[in-house]
Amino acid sequence: MNRKYGIISFFILIATLNPFVQGQEHKNIVGIGAGMSPTYDYAVWVGNPMNVWVTKNASPVIQLFYARQMLQSVRLGSYFEYENAKFESTNNKASRYNVGLNWLAQYPNTAFHAQLGGYAGYGFISVSDWEQLLFGSDIGIMIGPAFEKDNFGVALHLQYGKAYYVSSGSPDEVGFAIPRILLKVYYKL
């Protein structure tokens, strides 16, 4: 576990190393994303004592992010994400909080281009009727078009990932399939 925190800390350090010493180039990227996670049948598996698949209703997702342009076509960054969901079959309300690292490649080097990347994060889920918080990680990919003009950019990302959360209470584990559609607006500093 300490090795995982060391690796995450190392990537955060690389992404934020010398953020304002860059000459005339704008390499720091800050932005916000908003979108939704659509209704997804059998998106959530709830473990012991229930051991059932439940449907998650459509839910809003908010994401704040920072990235550093490492190469002309590669960005490394970090993000904070919040999702507020409701499970259809159990009527439970859930909130998911996640912090993690992401990476993006873009091609071609034009104003309108495609972006492809991934993310890995760690966070917790709070559910209204469950005994305690569940902690875990998620990992996934993102793809979509983007448009940049001067220092402003807009991207539409389709994201899909898997997550696994555990607790010492009841239920003891939850697995997620997490599809998302996010419209991201960002500014290069």
CATH code, domain with 145? 2.40.160.20
State how far the Cα of 37 lies from the Cα of 48, in Å rounded to an integer: 25
- Say how many C-beta atoms besides its own lie within 10 A of residue 1's C-beta: 5
Q: Tens of pLDDT along 6-40?
A: 777 776 766 666 554 445 578 899 999 999 999 87
What's the pLDDT tens digit per position in 37-83? 998 776 788 888 878 888 888 899 999 999 999 988 999 999 999 99
pLDDT at 2 over 60: yes
This prediction's pTM: 0.83
- Report residue 35 as tokens: 């979108």
- Angle among Cα 121, 125, 126 to the nearest 5 degrees reads 155
Range of the domain at 25: 2-188
Q: How many CA atoms lie within 13 A of 35 on its CB side?
A: 21
CA–CA separation, 57 vs 89, rounded Å?
Answer: 10
> Which residues fall within 8 angstroms of residue 16, CB to CB, at 6 or more apart?
66, 68
State how far the Cα of 99 lies from the Cα of 110, in Å rounded to an integer: 30
Q: How many domains does the chain have?
A: 1
pLDDT for 20: 47
Q: What is the CA radius of gyration of the chain?
A: 18
